[in-house]
Amino acid sequence: MTKSSADKKTPGLQTRAIHGRQHPDPLTGAVNPPIYASSTFVQSSPGVHSGWEYSRSGNPTRAAFEAALAELEGGAAGFAFASGLAAQAAVLDLLDQGAHVIASNDLYGGSWRLLHRVRERTAGLKITHVDASDAAAVEAAITPETRLIWIETPGNPLLSIADLPGIAEIGKRRGLITVADNTFASPVVQRPLEHGFDIVVHSVTKYVSGHSDIIGGAAIVRDAPDLIDRLKFLQNATGGVLDPFSSFLALRGLKTLPLRIARHAANARAVAEFLESHDKVAQVRYPGLRSHPQHNLAARQMSSGGGMVSFFVKGSPEQTIRVLESLRYFALAESLGGVESLVGHPWSMSHGSIPEPLRRAAGITPQLIRLSVGIEDVEDLIGDLEQALEALGQERARVVVA
């Protein structure tokens, strides 16, 4: 291969994670961007500066992370925020008072809370939830006031899959902003912008950072100058930006994202297959399994099933709690996407803010368990789940004897 042909070759994902849109520090040559812990920057004359003036408006450490994440998602610009919900709030600020939003029905509880318990009241937004795996259902929900389609894929907590190309085509044809929450997948597993979406949002806290040590969020925009300018204005105007220290840690985590996701996905598939074969499990939801309702759709737009697995226990709500309490390597905690395995109870944790009738209507019951499968030795993780489910069986036997 000649040098000229090698130069034209698109670098691989891991290469882009380490080198994409990243440069040594121009002042010192440092390989990693320094933490610029400065709130303000000197100007040579009023309004004349080096490109940096105030760290809410822009900070070199944050900018380095924003550029790197935009590179992985295939976006033109990235904007980092203090949390995933802060990123979502800024994106919703693109809308005018009274706009109509179509949202997927398998949605993180915090997103539901922001839409219904905040923006319905403060901005008069009107929200319609649909099955986003069915592009026709999405289009049927459009009204003259519709301005934005918001989907999460895989969905939280049931891991439903939205039809990315179908919805993107509808948004483009009908002149609507399309937004995809890519937190559960990460840009390693899928890149919604490549399917035609306008904006991707992340809870950077999760897979992007990957070590459960920061809170952060991001929005990445396709090559659309108007949307980029508006979101840049909103990031500065509303001020919920990611701090330099967290930006540094997020950028460090991003460099190993492809490696980590490969292990997460391999472990998750093995865990899902084990659970599907267990007689005390009623149903497993994992996009990589053929039993998943949208498996074929997932196979077309995802490179793997990802690292999240949800399943329903055969038993009572109390017995489900006993399983959660019996796990050793799966830590019972909020969040996901870290190197360590976590287990959550959507009914009482991540989706507890949604009214009970709506939780049940969405398929969220007290018997649902959500796993964030880490990068530990998979035999240990399967052994942990096996002993917890066996404890459930022993409890049921004691109930029968009694």
Show which residues are catalytic.
56, 108, 181, 206
- The tokens describing 283, both together, are 């149903």
Whether the CB-CB separation of 301 and 263 falls below 8 Å is answered with no
Look-up of token digits 């865990």:
271
